[in-house]
Structure 1
């Protein structure tokens, strides 16, 4: 994910190098939560809780990257919905604090877009609530009560 210009100063000056080391050296070019490979289109079943096809070893994997023992349940061909999405790894801060990367970058993880959004979901909801609360408070302070 791109860094917003107003947050750029929170990151170390060598952030691109750190990010490359975390994504490609430590994680081996795969998501650290679900094992999706970077730079490839991945076939994923829609509505199957993240089940996707790993073409390298020809197996189905679940949303956590574990191999499924059995193929997904048989569904009539008309009901199967699949999507092919590109996977681009991003380096995520596990504690949502970009100022601290921790010793040996333990606070950092290489995540695909799906896992990154799942990981950041509670923080996004908290920030959305806080911004709405702040806007309403400023409106009440300067404009009077909302109708």
Structure 2
């Protein structure tokens, strides 16, 4: 996941090396999610592999490093998880929802609109159900016509 420019200062200078070590040395290029995203993965661990098609979405996997406590300054091993895009977005869903509510309220206040941010808006909710990949297409039968010598003349 790209780091937003306003959050860049929160990451350690050696973040690219830390992230690469987690994703490729520790995780071996495979998503480490064992249900932190809210999904039950067959075999207990997400099967998504970096650079390959995702088993659920069909998109090419780009392995990322998720902060389980949503604090980029905290780079302890137990706080970092190599995650495919699907698992990472689901892990961060509640956090994204809260920050989005705060951002929208701040924009409204800056525009001079009155409003309030109800406590209910800040409750974490579960992530939405992930999309399923489209069914593989089967080749349509090709109809071939042949001409006999009489038809060709």
Fold shared per TM-score above 0.5: yes
1:84 matched to 2:96? The reply is no
What's the CA shift for 1:10? 1.1
* Structure 2, unpaired ranges of 5+: 34-45, 116-153
TM-score (norm 1): 0.63
CA distance in 1, matches of 2:109, 2:63: 38
Cα RMSD over matched residues? Answer: 1.8
Question: Which residue does the alignment assign to 2:72?
Answer: 98
Structure scoring higher RCO (CA < 8 A, sep ≥ 6) equals 1
Change (3 A) 1:7 1:114: same
2:80 to 108, 116, 132: 108
Runs of 4+ in 1 over 4 A off after TM superposition: none
Question: Which residue does the alignment assign to 1:135?
Answer: 107
* Structure 1, unpaired ranges of 5+: 45-82
